[in-house]
Amino acid sequence: MGGLHAGAIAAARKLTDDQAVVSVTAIGVLGKPSDLTPELREREIAPRSRKPLAELLLTSD
């Protein structure tokens, strides 16, 4: 998830030195694009693209 600030989350949750933030998960209900500002709406409804796994992972043959 973009915008993960592990240090800020750790401080807010008062994590100890032997605990670490490694991921975050957004939960909730998906909103309607019509509720967004025009700029955010355009971004939300734009086609999405992802890199092929071959560009992200290293494998051995």
To the question of pTM greater than 0.85 for the whole model, the response is: no
The residue with greater pLDDT, 58 or 12, is: 12
pLDDT digits (tens, 9 = 90+) for 11-57: 999 999 999 998 888 899 989 999 999 999 999 999 999 898 888 88
* Residue 60 scores a pLDDT above 80: no
Which tokens is 19 given? 């605990």
* Residue 61 scores a pLDDT above 70: no
b vs e for 16-33, b when ≥16 Cβ sit within 10 Å of the residue's Cβ?
eeeeeeeeeeeeeeeeee
